[in-house]
Structure 1
């Protein structure tokens, strides 16, 4: 059961009302996380800005979705995990790779290396080494793509933590 109520453009006030009204007019439907985030216009605005910015990331979306699956498998947000597994499937990531991502790895050494970096950023960023970053470059990742991993992890921490706080869970009957 959700711990925080959903807001709508009619029930929200101030900046939250404006943000929700804009989202509703552009997309029609407002999801549970966004409508609940509207309790804090700062959190909602920050989420929307970071989400838009990460849409311009250099990192391949199939890779960033696997990173998101790995982070959410650790963080424990079922709602986020379901969303990222569905997105990975929609992009053609097979079930074996999704299972590997849940376990924090990949059959592809380059993808396994970038997932390992993401999990270090999530768990213990002080343990990142020059060798690890250099190995990513040897796998063909640019500095921009490597830096984008921080944004992917940060976005997952924000959404997962919020959903866990708010008590938002996947709808029953999901296939994940």
Structure 2
């Protein structure tokens, strides 16, 4: 059950209305979690700027970050959304489930990324130096490391927003991980 409402276009500021219009134009609708940012005059624009910022972690790699962070944080909304988006980036159902567990045996470079992200989130940023060394050894760079940390922060924001607001999930539910 939601603790706050998902605002409608009529309930938000003109600046946020313009952002809603742009989101709707690009993706067809305004996802509930994005709409929830619009309770704040500035949060939606700030979040969209962060999400759209240039990064060396894009596409499939970005979805690995999003899925691992959301799994560790238990965000049902972001797991649902990024299961859909992960498929759009070429991840299979089986690969998505594996990535959520912090592994990617189908790609050694993505495996090192998934392992790093899981370690970072579980250890609240205090990553094991061996995990960072393995990440670098897999072909990632120091710049990639910094961009991964920014991407973890990005996803943590939405995970926390959903955890606090419990707005309805408007994506197909993500499957449960096998036990």
TM-score, with structure 2 as normaliser: 0.82
The alignment's C-alpha RMSD in Å is: 2.2
Contact 1:68 1:84 in 2 (8 A): yes
Alignment pair present for 1:20 and 2:17: yes
Unmatched 5+ residue regions in structure 2? none
Report 1:43-62 matches (<5 A).
43-53=43-53, 56-62=54-60
Query: Which secondary structure state, in structure 2, belongs to the residue aligned with residue 168 of structure 1?
Result: coil
Q: Quick one: which of 79, 89, 92 aligns to 1:91?
A: 89
Contact 1:20 1:30 in 2 (8 A): no
Q: Deviations over 1:13-50 (max 9, x none)?
A: 4xxx3123233156343221122211123432331121
Aligned to 1:8: 8
Measured after TM superposition, the shift of residue 103 of structure 1 is: 1.1
Contact 1:64 1:152 in 2 (8 A): yes
Aligned to 2:109: 110
Contact 1:38 1:44 in 2 (8 A): yes
Query: Which secondary structure state, in structure 2, belongs to the residue aligned with residue 64 of structure 1?
Result: helix
Query: Which secondary structure state, in structure 2, belongs to the residue aligned with residue 41 of structure 1?
Result: coil
Measured after TM superposition, the shift of residue 80 of structure 1 is: 0.6
Aligned to 2:148: 149
Q: Quick one: which of 42, 63, 74 aligns to 1:76?
A: 74
Aligned to 1:33: 33
Contact 2:31 2:170 in 1 (8 A): no
* Distance in 2 (alpha carbons) for counterparts of 1:49 and 1:129: 30
* Distance in 2 (alpha carbons) for counterparts of 1:12 and 1:87: 27
* Distance in 1 (alpha carbons) for counterparts of 2:136 and 2:174: 36
Moved over 6 A (4+): none
* Distance in 2 (alpha carbons) for counterparts of 1:11 and 1:167: 19
Once the two structures are overlaid, the 10-residue window that deviates more, 145-154 or 29-38, is: 29-38
Query: Which secondary structure state, in structure 1, belongs to the residue aligned with residue 6 of structure 2?
Result: coil
TM-score, with structure 1 as normaliser: 0.84
